[in-house]
Amino acid sequence: MSERGSQGGKSPHAFMREALSVQSRLLEQRRALVAAALGAERAALETGAGHLGAEVDAYFDARAAQRPAQRPPLRTWRG
């Protein structure tokens, strides 16, 4: 097997650079997702408002099926 055989015609160095680039991008996306989730949690705790899970699921199911969908309303969960 040639040196470039298992990397799709790329040198090992080019293959590793591409893999590192992909992993770096995924790490940054993961960090951004975690930051957004923590921000949403903080907002929910501060406001006492959020969406019902079943309504969110129905909304995304409708969107995925390309059916019209209204965003679920915010509801107060604090008593």
pLDDT at 3: 55
Given this model, what pLDDT does residue 15 score? 93
For residue 13, what pLDDT is reported? Answer: 94
pLDDT of res. 39: 97
Q: Which residues contact 58 (CB under 8 A, 6 or more apart)?
A: 69, 72
pLDDT per residue of the chain (79 residues) written in tens, 0 to 9: 455 556 678 899 999 999 999 999 999 999 999 999 999 999 999 999 999 999 999 999 999 999 999 999 999 987 6
- Per-domain boundaries in the chain: 1-47, 49-79
